[in-house]
A and B are shown apart, each in its own frame.
Chain A
Amino acid sequence: LLHLADRFIDVPSYLSSSALHPAGSPADGIAVLFWWMTAGALLIWIVVVALGVYVVRAAPGDGRERQAKRLVLWGAALSTVVLTALLVYGLVLLPRTMAPAAADTLRVWVHGEQWWWRIRYQPAASPAFVLANEIRLPVGRPVEFLLESDNVVHSFWVPSLGGKMDLIPGRTNRLLVRPTRVGTFAGMCAEFCGRAHATMRLTVLVVPGDEFERWVAEQVAEPAEP
């Protein structure tokens, strides 16, 4: 197997990325929602399969028809209750992802290219600067990504921080996140965008606030080549 492995091309080294180990909001809320839903789903699945086993083994007898009808009615009623509860709980999370940006929000412009990410910062009162495939964020501060593309549809996704949002030609989409943990996280394009879609990835470095400010000052002083 190792011999085979030698034949394979080099791939970028793995970066941490997991929707299940969140390092920001709303990924943390979504992960909790996921675990609740998974637990509930598992329970329901066990009940249905157990029912399946039971109905095959149960001997026919008096009153079975009434039981069968009751099974259908209770099944429908319980599904409705469970789904409604879940809907209410899940939708409460929605406003967090779509609220208007707060005053101290950092704005980062993300432009999808074929097949890389053009990242633009626009600090107040200083020139903009541009990077490729790398985003640096201060921990704890809300960030608004402004997502644009003038070629094909892409989708911006950093699983550790939050859900994804599409970059659609002719539109500007927003995505709000707030990193809660310092670290290096992987991002990727989630919407098929052509030949090298698989390698359209980016790195997100979440750093302490003062370190971020120093970095911005350096970038402004010496504009980076994209």
Chain B
Amino acid sequence: MTPDIEPLEQAPPQEVRQAQEARLHTAWNPPTGWRYFSEVNNSAVGMWYTALTVAFLVFGGVLALLMRIQLAVPGNTFLEPDTYNQVFTVHGSVMMFLVAIPLFEAISILFLPAFLGTRELPFPRLSAYGLWAFLIGGVFLCGSILFGAAPNGGWFMYPPLTSRYEPGIGADMWLLGFSFIEVAAIAASVELIVGVLKSRPVGMRINLIPLYAWYVLVAAAMVLFAFPSLIAGSLLLELERAFDWPFFDPTRGGDPLLWQHLFWLFGHPEVYIIFLPSVALVAMMVPTFARTPIVGYEWIVLSAIGTGFLSFGLWVHHMFTTGLPGISLALFSAASMAVAIPTGVQIFCFLGTLLVGRVVRSVPLLFVFGGLATFVIGGLTGVMVAMAPFDFQAHDTFFVVAHLHTVLIGGTLFPFFAASYYYFPLATGYALSDRLGRICFWLVFIGFQVTFMPMHVSGLLGMPRRVFTYPSDPNLNLLNLTSTVGAFVLAAGFAVFLWDVLRPKRKQGHSPRNPWGSGTLEWLPELPAKPWGLRSIPEIDSRYPIWEQENFERDVDEGRFFLPDAEELKREMLVSSVIDARPEQCLRISGPTYVPLVAAIFTGGVFIFPTFKMWAWMAVSAVLALGAILYWLWTATALIPEKDEKYIGHGVSVPLYRSGPSSVGWWAMLITMLADVSAFAAVVFGYFFYWTLRPEFPPGGIAGPGTLWPAVALALLLTAWGLTFAARRWNATDQATFFYMAIAAGAALALGGAASLLAGPWTHHMMPSQHVYPATVWVLVAWTALHAVVGVVMQLYCGARRWAGRMSAKHDIDIWNTTLYWHFVALMAVVTVVVVAVFPRLR
């Protein structure tokens, strides 16, 4: 494939173009009436996702106002202590899990195809599934506060407070509900990563990728490695709450600090997962208003990647006061300060860009600068609290409340406002009001500073966090009252924004195309956007194609590029190679369906029923969820197309079906399994945490799982893995008998392997509630056994697919992905067996 494809010399004749548009319309038009909610297209799902996130933002904001009313004066009785504790717990949790993270995923689902000049993301039903899971989980959690049943142990959920001192369902709701939402967030990350890697337009080589996509790639990759740690921690804590497995109980060998490590191993990268995509929005706006390409593209990309890596080495700075040795404090202090450098580089690149260009002033740019002025304060106080000695004073006080809100509001909310004013025309076809935008900005900016600047002082005057009241003191009283007044000014600014978004706009008419005169791809669509997005998929040879590629809009609009038609009336998109974006496949993607909604409801049941100890309902829900997901895969995934190749224009034909490493499904499996293995690694980390902490781990007097059963399990599982691999080869060579035999034998051995894993601790009467050692062994073997069972389902699915004629020697996505999954099962089996059977012998 030559990278320098030119658009067609002549536009296709008018009647041809009209026929093409009619077919595209049939394929892409969203369903109408109540069936609209079966839509899975990114523009609909992204819009609902964003709206839902903003709704949760308003909810979290109202909770914040309740807290500020309570703290307006000392000794206030506006909220009961218990209510206050629920309010701050839910405020923190909602803002983190239901606002900050979903916001980046929602905006990315909405706009990433536009940034990449494509029509869709590769897994539309997965996006819809994530959305519905988010809705169900979020409403469940927020609703609980209306019944006074909300979690009240803080968003950080430290045991033993949350393991043994919080009866009621609040903590269970937190652990299970947020695990559910985190699974949905990982699903969205898989979608976004594969989107950036595999659905770029022809010619968009890796050095031409829009900065937004780079940032999303980094943030989504961080989700894969950060969230699993919290999911694993939540699993352990819920096991302690529900079944008395003593992971965090020091009287039975556990340790509360393990939770803190697992939590902050998630919690600190989380800050950058929130922050990087917001910087990404700024990186898209700055060149537009500077009328010049970004300065230091490569530096920005490297800084973003560097920030991502460093952020996994900072978690201990949340634990400076837990009594760690001085060397740890020094190392983590240094690492925490180091992360300021790549952050600074990004800011200087933006300032440099504005220096080069002639700056056009606008409401979005106003918010960018308000955010910059605010964020820099937060960054500098961040350097202060990164100094361990100062943190001994500032930690867990209002100083940190001020610091974190300055970082998150300056670094995320201001860019979000900027992006809202900037991108509203792209999303809806209408512009927001400039006048209201300025009013909103000044209210939010002044309100923010008045609220949070005094908190730096009140913290150092001895006001700890999470207090429902404070002793009367002239200084504290004045500072707190000021903060409360500021909070209401900030809220007023937000109300102006909401009014601007919701007010009727039909009279003002549609926004012109590319209203800000941007050079980047996302501004290519006509406004209001057509359901198919781009009329044809362009060839890219610049970072600012609208500025630098001649007649670009015209060529796209007249269908002079790729895929200008939908001959078979199906939704189609281009899949390209990872590094140099050569077209590899024309991928058919799903149209409207309710399957993701149904699957999300039943998956929700799996997480929600255990909160109320309704185990039977949970089992029923799990079976139904599995059924829904199998139906989803069976009916519309990896379908064998009616022809091998499809002509996409410019003399290029690409396959309609690809399997193995060139298929998007293989990448999705790989990425999902990386997240899965990270969660497993977190559990293994737990085992070795106890191992290094306690000289008597495994403790004398408690039997281990022995070596016989683990060895048998390992042999069986590795054979099952080998058979899966062989089944893929025999399928490819069309040796059907061997294929079915390998599948059947592999499934039988895998089940045997899973049972043998469990037999180790079972035959040695290991009681998980007796001590943390048997509990940890049980978690490890159960984890791996469960994965083997899922592997069996996948093996049998492949057998059935071939039997039903939905998989063949050439069309073998299913068995490729199953084999890939089994590589990871084999890895987990080896690690599990070595850890539970070999390590006890080393002591």
Interface string of B64-90 (1 = CB under 8 A from A): 000000000111110001100100000
Given A8-B77, A83-B337, A196-B81, A164:B393 Cβ within 8 A = yes
Would you call A48 and B347 a contact (CB within 8 A)? yes
Would you call A11 and B396 a contact (CB within 8 A)? no
Would you call A71 and B73 a contact (CB within 8 A)? no
From B296, B393, B469, A69 is in contact (CB under 8 Å) with B296
Given A9-B75, A64-B356, A72:B295 Cβ within 8 A = yes
Q: How far is the CA of A59 from the CA of B357 in the complex (A)?
A: 8
- Nearest CB of chain B from residue A133's CB, rounded to whole Å: 13
Would you call A197 and B348 a contact (CB within 8 A)? no
B393 to chain A: closest residue by CB: A19
Among A1-20, those with CB < 8 Å from B are 4-5, 7-15, 17-20
From A7, A52, A87, B333 is in contact (CB under 8 Å) with A87
Complex interface: stretch among A37-45, A207-215, A216-224 = A37-45
A124 at the interface (CB under 8 A from B): no
From A10, A13, A55, A153, B354 is in contact (CB under 8 Å) with A55
Would you call B81 and A195 a contact (CB within 8 A)? yes
Q: How far is the CA of A189 from the CA of B466 in the complex (A)?
A: 11
Q: How far is the CA of A174 from the CA of B158 in the complex (A)?
A: 21
Main secondary structure of the interface of B (DSSP, over half): helix
Would you call B393 and A30 a contact (CB within 8 A)? yes
B330 at the interface (CB under 8 A from A): yes
Would you call A27 and B393 a contact (CB within 8 A)? yes
Would you call A98 and B393 a contact (CB within 8 A)? no
Among B296-343, those with CB < 8 Å from A are 296, 299, 321-323, 326, 329-330, 333-334, 337-338, 340-341
Would you call A198 and B469 a contact (CB within 8 A)? yes
Would you call B344 and A11 a contact (CB within 8 A)? no
Q: How far is the CA of A11 from the CA of B322 in the complex (A)?
A: 30
Given A152-B165, A163-B393, A86:B354 Cβ within 8 A = no
Q: How far is the CA of A30 from the CA of B385 in the complex (A)?
A: 11
From B333, B352, B354, B462, A19 is in contact (CB under 8 Å) with B462
Would you call A168 and B256 a contact (CB within 8 A)? yes
Given A37-B383, A195-B81, A174:B323 Cβ within 8 A = yes
A127 at the interface (CB under 8 A from B): no
Among A49-71, those with CB < 8 Å from B are 49, 51-52, 54-60, 64-65, 67-69, 71
- Nearest CB of chain B from residue A140's CB, rounded to whole Å: 21
Complex interface: stretch among B13-21, B370-378, B615-623 = B370-378
From A9, A68, A94, A201, B326 is in contact (CB under 8 Å) with A94
User: A residues within 8 A CB of B381?
Assistant: 41
Interface string of B752-794 (1 = CB under 8 A from A): 0000000000000000000000000000000000000000000
B614 at the interface (CB under 8 A from A): no
Complex interface: stretch among B265-273, B470-478, B527-535, B743-751 = B470-478
Would you call B461 and A194 a contact (CB within 8 A)? no
A125 at the interface (CB under 8 A from B): no
Would you call A56 and B354 a contact (CB within 8 A)? yes
- Nearest CB of chain A from residue B90's CB, rounded to whole Å: 14
Q: What 14 new A-B contacts, CB under 8 Å, besides A5-B73, A164-B321? A: A11-B471, A18-B462, A30-B390, A30-B392, A37-B387, A55-B354, A58-B355, A68-B295, A71-B355, A90-B389, A155-B396, A163-B321, A164-B393, A164-B396
